[in-house]
Amino acid sequence: MKVPMNVPLSVPMKVQRFAAVIRLRPEKEAAYRALHSAVWPDVLAALKRANIGNYSIFLRDGLLFSYLEYTGTDYAADTAAIAADPVSREWWALTDPCQRPLDTAAEGQRWAPAEEIFHLD
């Protein structure tokens, strides 16, 4: 079958980039590193189901910086699905005590969003 020239073969996904920061409790650094050296497969699967990829967490001077790319169409619904996932909640029960929200984080907010001020593709 011949495809007309004006019909795209695939629609490129729109990528949204998200970054956030939180403090790492110094006494919990070894535990946090150990957890992230072998992230549970079900946690990774929940992230992928939620259209999250290219996800990294960096550490510098006690500050954790996360970066991820989202390719879905409803970020709020996809992240709510992660929050409802029992295995992800179990994972957070281990990782959350290792972290301390920034003083500037909103009430109830753990990871504080970071504003993107520059991007180069």
Which residues participate in catalysis according to the annotation?
36
Q: Which residues of 103-119 are buried (b: 16+ CB within 10 A; e: fewer)?
A: eebeeeeebbeeeeeee
CA-CA-CA-CA dihedral for 98, 71, 49, 79, to nearest 10: 50
Task: Give backbone dihedrals phi and psi of 76, rounded to 5 degrees, phi first.
Answer: -60, -45
Q: Which residues pair with 67 in a beta bridge?
A: 19, 56
- Amino acid in the structure at residue 74: D
